[in-house]
Amino acid sequence: MAVWNRTAERARALAAVGAEVQASAREALTAAPLVIVCVSATEDVRHLLEEASSEPFDGLALLNMTSGTPEDGRDLRNWAQAHGVAYLDAAIGAYPEQLGTRAARILVAGDEALFRTHQELILEIAGSSMYVGADHGAANAIDCALTGAFYISSLVSFIEAVRFVHEFGVSHDVLSDLSSYSVSVLDHQMKLALDRVARNDFTTDQATLNVYADAVATFAAGLEGRGDALMVQAATRVLRQAVDAGLGDQDIAAAVTLRPSAPGESARTN
């Protein structure tokens, strides 16, 4: 394995475990069949490559693990296409200390054949890695959506929930038991929601969006006076938008069909 870092001593630290330290980015770019880059921002990836060579990069295969937005992935793909670079965009779904283990996961987007060519190497770096789609924005989009919009939001919602029961003297064991139960119901409902989205069928004979919208407003009222309840208030607004868009008689997953609304414009469905 060939390594290079803008701060030379960081690369040299890897010589001890057998990495061949390269003297420049240009040398690193031609030292291996797959070049993996991970810097601060997507803009830096482009600068680095353009500084390293004024020639086209024919034959260079690049896997970019730099954090970014979906647009960053798509922009760098456009640049790569114009510069003869075969390009995969990745999002790292792991803590640094997990890398090299089976638990670590890197999401990879771009040409699937290119991914399969380098799959073995990628799995060595992160054993639970996955190919997620041909759109070069897909890895960052999933990261933003699942890690950001879902995971962090849910964790914050849970912490808000725990804050609210604090004054009622509920024991740790009871809360832990009920929390596990809530998560298992959530897991089940998420699977049902994904199936409905895949079938594009949001009919239900169980709780409708109207029922959820009423319930969440009642729950929010029950929490009043115990802090700002920002998460449940946001959920109330989303469900109200969905009801206003005419989805009230459908399953809650129908909210997935709400489309982006411009400022001042109300949400609409497809």
List binders of a copy of itself among 110-149 (CB under 8 A).
128, 130-135, 137-138, 140-149
Sign of CA dihedral 6, 12, 13, 15: positive
Give the residue among 25, 31, 71, 59 at the shortest CA–CA distance from 45.
25
The residue (of 87 and 131) whose beta carbon lies closer to a copy of itself is 131
Give me the least distance between CB of 145 and a copy of itself, in Å please: 4
The residue (of 52 and 146) whose beta carbon lies closer to a copy of itself is 146
- What pairs with residue 21 in β-bridges? 3
Give me the least distance between CB of 34 and a copy of itself, in Å please: 22
264 binds a copy of itself (CB under 8 A): no
**Which tokens belong to 95?**
């803590």
The residue (of 13 and 186) whose beta carbon lies closer to a copy of itself is 186
Q: Which of 158, 204, 244, 269 binds a copy of itself (CB under 8 A)?
A: 158
Residues 6+ apart with CB under 8 A from 165: 175
Under DSSP, is residue 228 helix (H, G, I), strand (E, B) or coil?
A: coil
Give me the least distance between CB of 58 and a copy of itself, in Å please: 28
| Span interacting with a copy of itself, options 7-15, 58-66, 79-87, 175-183, rule CB under 8 A | 175-183
Neighbouring C-alpha atoms within 13 Å toward the C-beta of 229: 18
Q: Which of 163, 200, 201, 246 binds a copy of itself (CB under 8 A)?
A: 163
Q: How many CB atoms lie within 10 A of CB 268?
A: 14
| Span interacting with a copy of itself, options 25-33, 56-64, 76-84, 162-170, rule CB under 8 A | 162-170
| Span interacting with a copy of itself, options 10-18, 78-86, 115-123, 193-201, rule CB under 8 A | 193-201
The residue (of 67 and 119) whose beta carbon lies closer to a copy of itself is 67
Give the count of residues interacting with a copy of itself (CB under 8 A).
107
Q: Which of 78, 180, 200, 203 binds a copy of itself (CB under 8 A)?
A: 180
Any idea what DSSP says for residue 151?
I
Exposure pattern of 168-186 as b/e (b: 16+ CB <10 Å)? eeeeeeeeeeeeeeeeeee
Tell me the CA distances in angstroms from 114 to 61, 99, 110, 238, one per residue in order.
Answer: 8, 22, 8, 40
